[in-house]
Amino acid sequence: MKFGTKAIHAGVEPDPTTGAIMTPIYQTSTYVQESPGKHKGYEYSRTHNPTRTALQKALAALENGKHGICYASGLAATDAVLKLFRPGDEIIATNDLYGGTYRIMRKVFEPFGLKFQFVDMTDVEKVRAAITEHTKMIWIETPTNPLLKIIDIEAVVTLARAENIMTVVDNTFATPYLQNPLDVGADVVMHSVTKYLGGHSDTVMGALVLNDDDLAAQLAFIQNASGAVPGPQDCFLVLRGLKTLHIRMQRHCENAAKIAQWLHEHPKVGKVFYPGLPTHTGHDLATRQMRGYGGMVSFELKGDVYEEAVIVMESLQVFSLGESLGGVESLCTHPASMTHASIPKEERLKAGLKDTLIRLSVGIEDIEDLIDDLNQAIEKVESHG
Ligand SMILES: *Cc1c(COP(=O)(O)O)cnc(C)c1O
């Protein structure tokens, strides 16, 4: 089955009791048993819920995986993966990483004895150099946030497999519409379902997709034992959101490409970060690895004046200022003061993150309105030609 057909049909069957075409919201905590232990496969909704089961199957199908497991948030999914490891185990993670992933690794799991190294994975040799006999997992996030660097998933996975190291790919930015890490040998795909998969900024959820039966059983055990499960109402909303994933992503990519090009040509704009631009350092790799370049664009203003970035963000009207991404509506974020504020300025600059960097989650509105909006906002700042 092709992607769009899967997005609409995978995992979803007419309700057996009524024929309802939409999966019902099974808003129930428990299930009546005929006799002790004799039931229809459902005992308690932390363990299994039919609405969640449908969604888990749909997500597995979209990532070309065998097992889908949903959690209460993206970070709860990450938490479940990290609970697979034991004191002394070492994990190598991407250095340009989602802030919350960095936080759970350093602040929650490091005190329990897990060891983390954060490495610039655009250079595979740096990953190789970081591997020790205790390395148990490599955590890849690509495209990265907010600089949209591209990591060669296949190269890192090949290296990891040779050393018997598990690989996990946070596929939130790309979505399965643009890349399927399991196809190139990654062990687990992680998603913040909150973003493009849900797609409507109305749900917080996470998911893991994988092929290995034993690992899936361990992760499902943690899902039930730790209990960070999504409710059936949220599963329904994501099932509904998934049905338009392919057409939403198509428009996100189209709009983002046009905005990136427009920004690139604007005299008041400095660097533009978008993997679809030939000037982007990861452009060739993105072209090989992804089926499109995504809906995220970051850019700097010329002159690097912090106050001017603020003026632009305050002046935007169609773009809303806020954290998160991946919804149908356009958002803008200021990483230096919002998502990455906890990192000292010198550290940020070392990583290439300037104070004027603005990150856009380009929505699916009409492109003319988005560009008009950016234009009126950028017109308000001085030219630093
Ligand atoms: C948002 C996000 C997460 C965390 O997901 P939540 O659903 O907010 O817990 C992880 N990785 C990436 C890339 C994200 O954008």
- pLDDT, one tens digit for every residue, the chain (385 residues): 999 999 999 999 999 899 999 999 999 999 999 999 899 999 999 999 999 999 999 999 999 999 999 999 999 999 999 999 999 999 999 988 888 999 999 999 999 999 999 999 999 999 999 999 999 999 999 999 889 999 999 999 999 999 999 999 999 999 999 999 999 999 999 999 999 999 999 999 999 999 999 999 999 999 999 999 999 999 999 999 999 999 999 999 999 999 999 999 999 999 999 999 999 999 999 999 999 999 999 999 999 888 999 999 999 999 999 989 999 999 999 988 887 776 678 877 877 888 889 999 999 999 999 999 999 999 999 988 6
Number of domains in the chain: 2
Do residues 209 and 265 both lie within one domain?
no
Q: Which of 70, 101, 192, 200 to mutate to test the pocket of ligand 1 (most atoms within 8 A of CB)?
A: 192
Does residue 342 lie in a domain region? yes
Do residues 232 and 275 both lie within one domain?
no
Does residue 144 lie in a domain region? yes
- Cα of 143 vs centre of ligand 1, distance in Å, is 13
The phi, psi pair for 325, rounded to 5°, reads -170, 170
Strand duo 358-361 + 296-301: pairing: antiparallel
Do residues 166 and 25 both lie within one domain?
yes
Burial class of residue 101 in the structure, from the number of CB atoms within 10 Å of its CB (0-12 exposed, 13-18 middle, 19+ buried):
buried
Select from 215, 242, 269 the last residue of a domain: 242
Whether residue 145 has its Cβ less than 6 Å from ligand 1: yes
Q: Kindly state the tokens that stand for 55.
A: 């969604």
CATH number of the domain where residue 83 is located: 3.40.640.10
Residue 77's nearest CA partner among 190, 204, 243, 189 is: 190
The atom number, within ligand 1, closest to the CA of 101 reads: 10
pLDDT of residue 337: 80
pLDDT of residue 377: 98
Does residue 383 lie in a domain region? no
Do residues 236 and 353 both lie within one domain?
no
Do residues 137 and 264 both lie within one domain?
no
Do residues 81 and 203 both lie within one domain?
yes
- Cα of 385 vs centre of ligand 1, distance in Å, is 37
Does residue 385 lie in a domain region? no
Does residue 384 lie in a domain region? no
The atom number, within ligand 1, closest to the CA of 77 reads: 9
Do residues 238 and 337 both lie within one domain?
no
Select from 242, 257, 289 the last residue of a domain: 242
Do residues 265 and 204 both lie within one domain?
no
- Gap between the Cα atoms of 163 and 69, Å rounded: 27
Contact 295, 255 (CB under 8 A): yes
The atom number, within ligand 1, closest to the CA of 145 reads: 13
- Tell me how crowded residue 375 is: count the other CB atoms within 10 A of its CB: 11
- Cα of 352 vs centre of ligand 1, distance in Å, is 21
Do residues 202 and 228 both lie within one domain?
yes
- Gap between the Cα atoms of 26 and 174, Å rounded: 30
Domain limits at 9?
Answer: 3-242
Do residues 200 and 290 both lie within one domain?
no
- Gap between the Cα atoms of 3 and 341, Å rounded: 38
Does residue 338 lie in a domain region? yes
Encode 87-99: b = buried (16+ Cβ within 10 Å), e = exposed. eebbbbbbbbbbb
Select from 242, 262, 291 the last residue of a domain: 242
Does residue 197 lie in a domain region? yes
Do residues 334 and 321 both lie within one domain?
yes
Do residues 213 and 295 both lie within one domain?
no
Does residue 273 lie in a domain region? yes
